[in-house]
């Protein structure tokens, strides 16, 4: 598996760190226990195409949003995650 970083180009997997499913959104402070339980512990655990957060620590140190198929490892899109690291260059 190789990831094409929008800033650095195609790089080997070892340069990146996985941060998991990009879908869960941190609930508001007053959202209640159920919302927090859901956010921290439950996962869709998709078998198929999933949006994920990756960190390019061995390169530009930007946060990336990667669209990847968990059944085949095929990557169909990589975008800068809004608001972080080198992504600010474009903002």
Partner 1 sequence: MKYSIFSLARAALSGHKNWQRTWRDATPKDRYDVVIIGGGGHGLATAWFLASEYGVRNVAVLEKGWIGSGNAGRNTTIIRSNYGLPGNTGFYELSMKLWERMEQDLNYNSMVSQRGVINLYHSDAQRDAYARRGNTMRINGIDAELLDLAAVKKMMPFLNFDNARFPVQGGLLQRRGGTARHDAVVWGYAHAASGLGVDIIQNCEVTGFVRDANGKVTGVETSRGRIGAGKVGMAVAGSSSRVADMAGLRLPIESHVLQAFVSEAIKPLIPNVMTFGAGHFYVSQSDKGGLVFGGDIDGYNSYAQRGNMPVMEDVCEGGMALMPMIGRVRLLRQWGGIMDMSMDGSPIIDKTPVDGLYLNAGWCYGGFKATPGSGFVFAHLLARDTPHEEAARFRLDRFRTGAMIDEKGQGAQPNLH
What's CA 68's distance to the chain center, in Å? 10
Pair 59, 10: CB distance under 8 Å: no
Using CB under 5 A as the binding rule, the residues of this chain from 30 to 89 that contact Zn ion are 56, 59-60
The answer to whether 3 contacts Zn ion (rule: CB under 5 A) is no
Which of 28, 29, 47, 91 is in the footprint of partner 1 by CB under 8 A?
47
State how far the Cα of 26 lies from the Cα of 2, in Å rounded to an integer: 29
Which of 5, 52, 62, 80 is in the footprint of partner 1 by CB under 8 A?
52
The answer to whether 72 contacts partner 1 (rule: CB under 8 A) is yes
Number of residues that bind Zn ion (CB under 5 A): 6
Choosing among partner 1, Zn ion, none, which partner's interface includes residue 8 (Cβ < 5 to 8 Å by kind)?
Zn ion
């Amino acid at each position: 598996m190789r990831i094409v970083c929008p800033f650095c180009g195609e790089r080997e997997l070892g340069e990146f760190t996985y941060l998991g499913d990009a879908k869960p959104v941190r609930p508001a402070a007053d959202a209640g226990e159920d919302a927090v339980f859901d956010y921290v512990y439950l996962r869709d655990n998709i078998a198929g195409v999933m949006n994920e957060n990756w960190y390019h620590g061995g390169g530009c140190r930007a946060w990336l949003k990667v669209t990847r198929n968990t059944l085949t490892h095929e990557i169909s899109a990589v975008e800068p995650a809004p608001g972080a690291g080198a992504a600010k260059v474009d903002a």
